[in-house]
A and B are shown apart, each in its own frame.
Chain A
């Protein structure tokens, strides 16, 4: 298969994937009509052989795969009659029993041991799905399969359960017996069995006793907590966590509940109740904020819905709200307020400055969000004001905590005119970034000035072809190039 390699790379570049678009109707190939016919007949032969070549439907699902067949059999209404074959339960499995030892089956792996004398031994611990399940009669006396035998030790009981058998646990009456049973289950590491024993203990032990015993059995405890979470027994779960003094978990677990509350008023009340919970010091302020935010959103929502319906407010008419602000994250809420309530005084709940103050939103975050909102409305003066700071002497200065390159990006995304864009591109500090942005967004003035400052005559000359013929920019370049005072570096 190794052909000349020298020009392979070049080939890849030059031959635009010609290699992959062989066309069956290709002129040249059509000369070989005979071979084509042969190909087709060959295909039939090949396709019939499932084992060699998989059939693939367009969706890529191999024809005959399980997920493909679900669709197929579900859609076609098969006329096949549900027949009962002559096989009877129990004996039916006989035919399917492994006939030769050499053909492995998970269940037959340990067949040999059935003949061991140590029955009912632990030896079948691995045959869960095994022999007896499928053909009990063939393997051993019936009596073995009864659950109600009274003499299983805790150990054997656990083993049997591990094999997927349902055992009655009722005969473990004393606390001592129950705990031995639990310890055996834990030692087996099978969560299924541990949980089953826990269900039994939960039903038959007093709560205090159960909690006390679990406290010294961490593994079992984890399983119970997991189980209570899964089955939604919130009250018992909280009681347990409180008993264990795992206060933070209590708090989080309780807080989690708010996700299930649809009604916002109820949710707000619930969150209010969460504030008093024993969260960690770092978390508590976030929970407090969550509550405050929802409280705000409810007020803003009621107010704005009213405004929008009344049709008096221009902004709501021009830009109808797409969704309610309820349950939105803080930053989204800030954006909303910058969009609809930008000019409001700090005293109102919906004003951006009020939000900023209440939630201690960092400057950077605030500027970014406000900028995005105002740019979307194409309110360029607001953008200008947002980025202008006055020092104590009264001088104004442009400042962007997020960096001017980000400002440019946001403005550009909102289709700001070149004049607006230019002003901020010019303020980008890093020269290379500035040049990149200016070139990309055709802020010719900035490019020209930058090259001039860099004293880069060659680049400036090269740039001339990018500006329009006879434009002011071209003139500017020409006049710079002919300016003898500039000491070009090249």
Chain B
């Protein structure tokens, strides 16, 4: 089940195991049969920690989704609410509890498990509603860092960026620091900490403080990580705005991956078995789990989409050949041999079928042909996806960033989705170190007139977050940053990449470039550029007892944990994995983040929530 977590350099199963144990401990505390009422958002992250079977072993007999009204019938001794600490959820719980039939027997006990943190504000709220006393256990489950894959951890805190950069609420940083302390408790003290940005500085300070105040944390575990790199998302606002062009990145851009699951339109997925045949084509979305447990997916997820087709074709051939073997199986022994391999082959076949379907779905939308001959790929009809990409790439390579863009205007006129418009305008603003007054005013006006004046609130948020801004001093330092960090590569090789820029077909993500340059030759070489980027950069060392200091074997890679504060994209993850795999790289990366994001989910998190229009 969790084999993929132990496949990487760092065995993350231990972290998952710790989470499971804590869950069991809580469940056992509420003696007797139980029903869990779930805040629906949490089921995804919890699914990465535990299966239903674990809950069942601990007498969880029923599970419901949290919603207002009367709680469903269930003959259980305990009702446990698993919720995020949010006031609107407290209102629902209050409603549930109030409607509980007091006369029923046996009575049911109520408990709350706050995830990831118990909230005094919420409890105050429940108290004011007069229901706080109804809860016997009020606990917290610190689901700080959830293992997503062998090299990937996420806090899945969707509002972290907004809280840090818009509301100045650093609570999520506190959780990040706590998560890092837990990680150090499991995997040893990380001797070196580097960071860039205000939030990074805060987290490092908190870690140092926590360590100082808690001498017991000095553990005797041999350190697994050599270096921790803390990066603020606002050091690199550009990367998430661009369209990701890796296979996984595109799946996320188009269909949205949530807690490693993706929901796809069912048309391309025929029913799995003949036995179930006769039914009509399914209308429910097809849900698939995507992680490195699937061999084929692990191989193609981080490739540029233009390189996926040829891998699929190779696999198809290999599997066909394997199935052909059956013709040569003559003796019972040979048949047996063949049969013994069947489950594996069938799994490989269905995996291949799934990804061929997904690749087709993506191809339909991107209209970039995945038929590849040699190193050339032929983008077919210049449909919208391609136009959009062209504009993005122009901006990123520094072309015409200082005037109103025709394509953006056209998109507004055709009322394309507002998020798409905002992504492009913000991208232009970031690539121009702010827009000229005239240009900014023009965009704002067009957006408000076309999408509604109330969006002035959203525009305001984007300005506060620095995504949209006025160019001050008339200076644009993006070209300097671009050149020094080699963010734009003209000769990109999508099939056999030699540089991280392949993940955006030309643009090398700034954040990952910083990580790359830190490993070699070190940040001293780019002092000037670092000063242009927001926030301080720093280095801290954590003392290790002499016995734990590492004596590096010759040729042994260093392990660096890169923590993205405010979110990371799949393309950035792909770029770091690419660096890990470089033969002479010398560094392997494990990635942690507050949330897995893409431009759309990111912008959405910054938009003002507008009530549905009353018509």
Contacts and interface: CB of A to CB of B under 8 A. Distances in A.
Instruction: Report, as a range, how many residues of chain A touch the other chain.
Output: 35 or more
A262 B614 contact: yes
B284 A59 contact: yes
B44 interface: yes
Given A39-B342, A81-B75, A66 B50 contact: yes
Given A18-B320, A192-B119, A87 B210 contact: no
A406 B406 CA distance: 12
B25 A107 contact: yes
B32 A83 contact: yes
A28 B320 CA distance: 14
A29 to B, nearest CB: 7
Contact of B64 (A12, A70, A125, A290): A70
A11 B317 contact: yes
A194 to B, nearest CB: 8
A293 B453 contact: yes
B413 A199 contact: no
A78 interface: yes
Contact of B289 (A5, A62, A192): A62
A180 to B, nearest CB: 17
A330 B410 contact: no
B450 A126 contact: no
Contacts of A219: 168, 170
Given A113-B216, A326-B615, A93 B25 contact: yes
B120 A12 contact: no
Nearest to B288: A60
B320 A19 contact: yes
B118 A164 contact: yes
Contacts of B75: 80-82
Interface in B31-80: 31-33, 38, 43-44, 46-47, 50-53, 55, 59, 61-65, 72-77
Nearest to A334: B449
A417 interface: no
A26 to B, nearest CB: 9
Interface stretch (A98-106, A235-243, A422-430): A98-106
Contacts of B319: 19
Given A78-B61, A95-B28, A222-B167, A20 B349 contact: yes
Contacts of B333: none
Contacts of A128: 118, 140, 142
B317 A65 contact: no
B202 interface: yes
B339 A39 contact: yes
A22 B349 contact: yes
A487 interface: no
Contacts of A282: 441, 444
Interface residues of B, number: 142
B208 to A, nearest CB: 12
Contacts of A17: 316, 356
Contacts of B314: 5, 8
Contacts of B21: 98, 103-108
A69 B63 contact: yes
B383 interface: no
A28 B284 CA distance: 33
Contacts of A66: 38, 43, 46-47, 50-52, 55, 63
B353 interface: yes
Contacts of B405: none
Interface stretch (B454-462, B499-507, B509-517, B580-588): B454-462
B450 A331 contact: yes
A364 B446 CA distance: 11
Contact of A105 (B1, B25, B273): B25
Interface in A55-113: 56, 58-62, 64-70, 73-74, 77-78, 80-85, 87-89, 92-93, 95-98, 103-110, 112-113
Contact of A74 (B63, B213, B261): B63
A129 B169 contact: no
A35 B17 CA distance: 39
A50 interface: yes
A71 B68 CA distance: 17
Interface in B273-307: 273-274, 282, 284-289
A189 B202 CA distance: 9
Interface stretch (B171-179, B230-238, B563-571): B171-179
Interface stretch (A226-234, A388-396, A459-467): A226-234
B139 interface: yes
A377 to B, nearest CB: 19
A122 interface: yes
Contacts of A406: 410
Contact of B174 (A50, A95, A189): A189
Interface string A247-259: 0000010011011
Given A92-B28, A365-B446, A84 B186 contact: no
Interface of A is mostly: helix
Interface string A106-132: 111110110010000011011011000
A18 B335 CA distance: 23
B284 A3 contact: no
B448 A286 contact: yes
A289 interface: yes
A329 B171 contact: no
A67 B43 contact: yes
Interface in A171-226: 188-193, 195-196, 199, 218-219, 222-223, 225-226
Given A69-B52, A109-B185, A126-B181, A259 B31 contact: no
B336 to A, nearest CB: 8
A330 B142 CA distance: 47
B228 to A, nearest CB: 18
A361 interface: yes
B316 A84 contact: no
Contact of B120 (A77, A88, A110, A166): A166
B169 A222 contact: yes
Contact of B215 (A88, A96, A123, A283): A123
A38 interface: yes
A93 B31 CA distance: 9
A98 B362 CA distance: 48
A123 B212 CA distance: 10
A368 interface: yes
A128 to B, nearest CB: 6
A41 B610 CA distance: 56
A223 B615 CA distance: 35
A77 B61 CA distance: 10
Given A12-B316, A259-B454, 18 more contacts: A9-B313, A9-B372, A12-B313, A20-B353, A50-B1, A60-B286, A60-B287, A66-B63, A80-B33, A84-B106, A85-B32, A93-B28, A116-B216, A128-B118, A192-B85, A195-B120, A255-B457, A327-B614
In the complex, the 7 A-B pairs of residues with the closest C-beta atoms, listed nearest first:
A60-B287, A191-B171, A12-B313, A113-B216, A222-B168, A69-B52, A19-B316
5 contacts: A51-B1, A74-B64, A113-B214, A190-B171, A287-B453
Interface of B: 1, 14, 17-19, 21-22, 24-26, 28-29, 31-33, 38, 43-44, 46-47, 50-53, 55, 59, 61-65, 72-77, 85, 87, 106, 108, 117-121, 123-125, 139-142, 163, 167-171, 173-174, 177-178, 181-182, 185-186, 202, 206, 210, 213-217, 261, 263, 271-274, 282, 284-289, 309-310, 312-314, 316-321, 323, 326-327, 329, 335-336, 338-339, 342-343, 346-347, 349, 352-353, 356, 371-373, 409-410, 413, 415, 441, 444-446, 448-454, 456-457, 460, 608, 610-611, 613-615
Interface of A: 1, 3, 5, 8-9, 11-13, 15, 17-25, 28-29, 32, 34-35, 38-39, 42-43, 46, 50-51, 53-54, 56, 58-62, 64-70, 73-74, 77-78, 80-85, 87-89, 92-93, 95-98, 103-110, 112-113, 116, 122-123, 125-126, 128-129, 133-134, 161, 164, 166, 188-193, 195-196, 199, 218-219, 222-223, 225-227, 230-231, 252, 255-256, 258-260, 262, 282-283, 286-287, 289-290, 293, 323-324, 326-331, 359, 361, 364-365, 368, 402, 406
